[in-house]
Amino acid sequence: MVEYRFPRPAFTADVVAFASVDGVLSVLVIRRGNEPFAGRWALPGGFVDEGERPEDAARRELAEETGLRFEGPLDLVGVYGDPGRDPRGWTVSAAYRAVLERPAEVAGADDAAEARWFALDALPSLAFDHDHIVADAVSPDIERRA
């Protein structure tokens, strides 16, 4: 095993999926089934497996937690690593934006107790720093899609 001189964070990937639901810009979120933040809403996402590309992890986690298999483009929103963003320890996340032509049927699976679309202006408070990530993912071209 290789010893590293510097500490290594856990690496995650999250997805902000947008779609127009009845003419209202909406975001796909999951209700967490496990700690931390069990029962709270969050973006679909999770840990990047060793040797896995972050974008592939984002697609995998989206499918595992919501049943949505998204093959369209994923745009990088940003990389988030503020200390304390995850109570389990130092975690850095690559966050991606997906824009769907129409909302997909979704259901909570894997470690997500539930999955559903919420209107952007009616999102519940999200776990981790996901409120901040959603705000960063919104752009004028996204808002015009509703």
Catalytic residues: 114
Indicate left, alpha or beta for 57 from its phi (over 0: left) and psi (-120 to 50: alpha). Answer: alpha
